[in-house]
Structures are given as C-alpha cells and as structure tokens.
Amino acid sequence: MDLSHIFKIVLLVCLCVLSYSLPVQTAVTLSVPVAPIVVRGVEVIPSKTGGCTNVTVAFTAMSKVQIVWTIDKGIKPEDVNPSTMIHNHLTKHGDSHTSICLPSGLVYDKLVLHLLCEMHSFELHLDMRIPKATIEVREPLEQYDLIVPKPNEIGVTSRGEARFPVMVNNSATGYAFGLLQAEVTLLYGNYIRYDSAFSFLPASPNQIISAQQVGVNGKENLFNIALKSNILRKGEAFIAIMAASSNPNSIVERLDIKQGILLRRGNDKNSGFNNALHFPEGQSEVITIKKHNNAIMVCETVGDTNPSVTLYKRTLGGIEPVNVPSYTTSLPPETVTTFQLLNVTEADSGVYICKVAKNQRSSSKVFTVNVVTS
C-alpha cells in the first residue's frame, strides 16, 4: 500500500468522523434562493349580474408553469360545471396570472390552485376560501421561503448517509408554520424504495429518512433531514420537501410549497430516471362513496417520466377502457393522474385499474369503488 493510498484512507476516516460530529448547520450553508414561482396577489370579483365570481391569482415564474385549478379533493371545476371558464395567461417566464370564473351555482368547500414548475422541480398549492358575499377582495400575497441546499452541496458519505438543513422562513408574512414532510424515493436499476417522514413524528429505527425540527427563531423554522441507505452509495435519490403554512386572515388559508432535490453520487450523465414505474402510495385502494357524490382515483407513480396512463374497468368479459375526466400533473420523477367519477350511481361501483406504461414496462393500481345509498 503506497502513501497516497494511506493518505486517502486517513482522509476518508477523518471526513466520516467530521460528518458524524459536526452539527449539520455548519456543514451546509443555506442561502435564500429566488423561488421558481412566487405568488403576488389574489383578486376576487363577484359578478354584479349574478353570473360568475372571477378569482385571479397573479404570480411570477422563472420558466413555464403548469396550472391546475381543482375544487375539494381534486375535481376539476369545469368537469362539474362546464360553464366554469379558466383563463391562463402564460408567458415563458415573468409576470403571469390565472383566473377562474366560478358560477354562482357551483357547490364546493375549497378551491385549490396548483402551480408546478417542472424544470425546477417546484410546486405550490394554494387553498382558497372564496367569500360568497358580493364584496370585492384584493389581497397581496407574501410567499414564505422554503430553503433547501443545492443537490451538489449535499454530501453522501461512504456509508450511504446524507444530512442537510432545511428552513421554512415565515418572517415578513402572515403565515404560521404548519408541518414539514420529507419524502424520499431511492432508485437503483429496478430497485425502488419510497419512505416519508414528518417534522412532528419521531423517526423509527428502520426509517431511511427522518425530519427533525432543530430550532425556531421567531418565524424561522430550522430542520435537519437525515437519509441513510446503502442504495445511496450507488443509486440516486429523489427527495421532495414539502412545507405547509397557514394564514387564517387570508383568502389563501393554506399555502404548501414542495421542492424536489435529485441526489446522486458523482456525475454519472447516463443515470437519470430510467426506472420501473412504482406506486409509492400502494397498488390498491378501496373507495366507498355516497350516491350522487364525486369520486376521485389518484394514480401516482414514481420512476420513468411521462408514462402513458389508462383507466380500465373490470367487466364480465375482461377489462375495458373507461373514458372519464382526468388530468395529469408531473414533477419528475413523479407523475400524478387524477381520474374523476362525477355524480356516481350504483352502476359506477366496481373494480377499476389504472395502468401506467413506458418503454415496454407497465404497472397497475386497482381501485375498488363501492357506491352506497346512504
């Protein structure tokens, strides 16, 4: 064994010891990034003639943004009431706005705007409570910061460990911190493992990811994220950090920000998401729903991006494709397709299969829908 070899080993041991003993905050510094999407304001203009209520959200985007409006648990308003109009004014980047015209007869509890920026693996969800009164509302929005380190600033030890800080900074906004969720999808060849952790739950020993709140300074909330898996030594990890904050005094009651980080060792240009499709939330679900309500089937996959997604229903003769309203949002390597069964009747009961396919590989999730009369 030559000297340089010994030196490398000593260095490695030192680095390992250092990474174990140093507080995480000093290992990675957090600098405030410019968020890929920043919301600026919300405006509600009720119709004077009893037509529709116009809701507009203004935002600034760094690149192309996908816009999806939903009501309640994920139904597209225009599928419930076709006279609902949506105006999306998209520019490649810069100031944009999106508006929706809610007909006065539309029944819903919550209006949600989803803004996704695929290029920066960033998404925002705005939960809105729209006043039914005839007054106009114009409210500036102050988006809080979710600060995560850049992937190249996060080291992975030879034991497959990575640790980094995350900050949720609600200072200068009316938002109060709610919760932090950290999700990890480990990808290595056909091996996929999904795990998640919450800021308010203690980590269990066999968990591969943990999220621990380590400090609060006014409205700055600091967390440590720790990952540990042998797979990290050779594979890659997609870590999604989601922060939820609420403001009871705003129309935008809750604002969720999600930021994805792709962690890989070295710079293997040929890696990337070339992995078998996988359903992190499980491959079967039972949905029990009252007659005349709306059922949603959420088909969430991780792995190959832009898979084809088809819904089938089991019949006496086998399976048949069904054509129901649906929409897809994508934050690589996640693809979420939401199918809607509107105003269900007993005839909608049955077994549905969501089939996702890409590159000769496919996988399925089974939904058992039971429509009950009361």
Ligand X SMILES: *[C@@H]1O[C@H](CO)[C@@H](O)[C@H](O)[C@H]1NC(C)=O
Contact set with ligand X (CB under 6 A): 32, 54, 56, 85, 87, 99, 101, 169, 171-172, 220, 292, 343, 345
Q: Is the dihedral of CA 28, 31, 33, 39 positive or negative?
A: positive
CA distances from 21 to 16, 24, 25, 26, 100 (A): 9, 9, 12, 11, 53
Beta carbon nearer to ligand X, 195 or 220: 220
SS3 80: helix
Question: Closest distance between ligand X and the C-beta of residue 163, in Å?
Answer: 19
Beta carbon nearer to ligand X, 26 or 206: 26
Question: Closest distance between ligand X and the C-beta of residue 261, in Å?
Answer: 18
The amino acid at residue 274 is N
User: Is the CB of residue 25 less than 8 Å from the CB of residue 222?
Assistant: yes
Rounded Cα distance between 119 and 129, Å, is 30
Q: Is the dihedral of CA 342, 344, 347, 349 positive or negative?
A: positive
Beta carbon nearer to ligand X, 45 or 179: 45
308-315, strands of its sheet edge to edge: 284-290, 361-372, 350-358, 308-315, 318-321
Q: Is the dihedral of CA 71, 75, 81, 82 positive or negative?
A: positive
Question: Closest distance between ligand X and the C-beta of residue 87, in Å?
Answer: 5
Rounded Cα distance between 38 and 57, Å, is 11
Beta carbon nearer to ligand X, 343 or 359: 343
Rounded Cα distance between 154 and 224, Å, is 12
Beta carbon nearer to ligand X, 143 or 329: 143
Question: Closest distance between ligand X and the C-beta of residue 58, in Å?
Answer: 9
Beta carbon nearer to ligand X, 154 or 341: 341
Beta carbon nearer to ligand X, 56 or 213: 56
Q: Which residues contact 157 (CB under 8 A, 6 or more apart)?
A: 15, 16, 19
Question: Closest distance between ligand X and the C-beta of residue 297, in Å?
Answer: 19
Question: Closest distance between ligand X and the C-beta of residue 233, in Å?
Answer: 32
Question: Closest distance between ligand X and the C-beta of residue 220, in Å?
Answer: 5
Beta carbon nearer to ligand X, 171 or 284: 171
Question: Closest distance between ligand X and the C-beta of residue 278, in Å?
Answer: 35
SS3 25: helix
Q: Which residues pair with 222 in a beta bridge?
A: 167, 215
Question: Closest distance between ligand X and the C-beta of residue 136, in Å?
Answer: 11
Rounded Cα distance between 365 and 360, Å, is 17
Beta carbon nearer to ligand X, 261 or 371: 371
CA dihedral 150, 153, 156, 162 (to 10 degrees): -60
